[in-house]
Amino acid sequence: MSQVTDQALLVDLAKNDQSSKLRANAAQALTDPASLLDVARQGGDLIVRLKAAERLNEPALLIELVRTAK
């Protein structure tokens, strides 16, 4: 997964792939803050959402995630 850099593809995999391991690996490979926020909100499962949230390091995006949490 480390060779894949297309953020849109990684978001799609993290949100929609049938394999929970692949979803988690895709979330871990994300680097774009907006993509991380998207997956933290709507990832394929709790583990994927947590992996994306852990990688968010911009305070404004973390605040937005908390404000919009379900």
Convert the pLDDT of each residue in 23-58 to its tens digit.
Answer: 999 999 999 999 999 999 999 899 999 999 999 999
| CB-neighbour burial class of residue 55 (10 A; exposed 0-12, middle 13-18, buried 19+) | middle
Is the whole model's pTM more than 0.85, yes or no?
Answer: yes
pLDDT score recorded for residue 64: 95
